Amino acid sequence: MSEVGLEITLPVPAERAHGVTVCRSPSASARQYLDLVASLGVGLPMGLEIGLGVPTFRIGHLGNVVEQDIAQTLYALARSKRLLETRPLVGAAE
């Protein structure tokens, strides 16, 4: 995830779940970020922010995940992050 500029909430691999990865949203609005990701064909759910205090999202990786799925997901995450960096959040104070 670091290749696309995203941070996994649990940095120690042994502490992570095997079927889902939880990442910090690169935006104060996880919903806006995930809407951009979805517009590129990848649907991801928001994370449960219990105890974290930061917006998160989840990436499930169970079942028949193929290389194309991974490539499309990474592209959508990186492209959406770049889009957020070049335009303000909707409703953000000026």
What domains can be seen in the chain, in order of their start residue? 2-85 (3.90.1150.10)
Average pLDDT value over all residues in the chain: 83
Bigger pLDDT: 2 or 89?
A: 2
Bigger pLDDT: 80 or 54?
A: 80
- Chain CA centroid to CA 89, Å: 16
| pTM attached to this predicted model | 0.78
- What is the length of the chain? 94
Report the C-alpha gap between 7 and 59 in whole angstroms: 12
Pinpoint the alpha helices (H) of the chain.
Answer: 30-39, 67-86
Q: What's the angle, vertex CA 63, arms to CA 57 and CA 64, rounded to 5?
A: 110
Report the C-alpha gap between 13 and 35 in whole angstroms: 28
Token digits of residue 22: 């939880």
Average pLDDT over every residue of 62-69? 88
